[in-house]
Structure 1
Amino acid sequence: MFRTFTGKAALLAVSTALLTGVVTGGTASASTTAAYIGNGYPNNTHGVWCVQRMINYAIDRGRYWGVAKVAEDGVWGPKTRQAVIDVQKGTGGFLTPDGVVGPRTGDMLMFEGDPYYSGGGAGNGYCHAYVPTTY
């Protein structure tokens, strides 16, 4: 499914960096108030596309095993929700597999996903305005 050890190590690394202030860079465009993404939420098209892009990028690089790629169409649907659940399940209990992208799931996706859009952890990528994160 997902490389559980790698996923936990990556999430621990990004969490530690954020808590200790190691991850910095210019003016951050991160929005800690970005709306959650999932069933029952407003699901901004840009935010959904960012989630889809981050998942597909990580799949292409072998970071998520057994997770099906999704269309990058900005539409929240059952396939995108299932991909989010599969990613969440692969964290060995660190994330609740509820299919909702909140700050902790957003952190994971942004860390594992496309650095061009995520900002590579610096908090200044395009998707930080649309995906909820803790930073």
Structure 2
Amino acid sequence: MSKKSTSRIAVVTAAAALLTGVMTGGSASASTTAPYIGNGYTNNTHAVWCVQRMINYAIDRGRYWGVDKVAEDGAWGPKTRQAVVDVQKGTGGSLQADGIVGPMTGDMLMFEGDPYYSGGGAGNGYCHTYLPTTY
């Protein structure tokens, strides 16, 4: 087989793989089935990163007072848990301050957090796949 033929096969194969991903990927949407995030849960690295990103974004915009920023490392630990508790406390009692990200806390983080990753309420951001929400 010539070098030219091999190159064409490689290009066609790459294009087919790309199109398959695009065709089957569909549009992203909010997940009402994403698992809870917190102590005692199997925490997905992407989900934890989304929690950390949303909290830090909101802190940078003055939405959460007295909440310390956390490393956006995807690792669930005491600092991330405490930031979630502090955010939950800052809602005036509308959220239970338990340090667990369930659908109600997920909704709030998606609303207050980075619109690039939340989808700005459109239900198509990266973090909609990972954060539990009611929508």
TM-score (norm 2): 0.79
- Superposed CA RMSD in Å reads 1.2
Question: 1:29 & 1:55 partners in 2: Cα distance?
Answer: 21
Corresponding position of 1:35: 35
Matched length: 110
TM-score (norm 1): 0.79
State whether structure 2 residue 83 is matched by structure 1 residue 103. Answer: no
Corresponding position of 2:20: none
Deviations 1:59-105 (A, max 9, x none): 00000000000000000000000000000001111000000000000
Question: 1:131 & 1:109 partners in 2: Cα distance?
Answer: 9
Q: Alignment partner of 1:56: what SS?
A: helix
Corresponding position of 1:132: 132
What's the % identity of the aligned pairs? 87
Question: 1:42 & 1:109 partners in 2: Cα distance?
Answer: 19
Deviations 1:105-126 (A, max 9, x none): 0000000000000001111100
Question: 1:68 & 1:30 partners in 2: Cα distance?
Answer: 27
Corresponding position of 2:58: 58
Corresponding position of 1:119: 119
Corresponding position of 2:88: 88
Q: Alignment partner of 2:38: what SS?
A: coil
More helix by share: 2
Superposed, 1:64-83 pairs within 5 Å as 64-83=64-83
Q: Alignment partner of 1:132: what SS?
A: coil
Which amino acid in the other structure matches residue 49 of structure 2?
A: W
Corresponding position of 2:46: 46
Structure 1 runs (4+) deviating above 6 angstroms are: none
Unaligned runs of 5+ in 2: 1-26
Question: 1:45 & 1:29 partners in 2: Cα distance?
Answer: 19
Cα contact 2:28–2:126 (8 A) shared by 1? no
Unaligned runs of 5+ in 1: 1-26
Shift of 1:29: 1.4
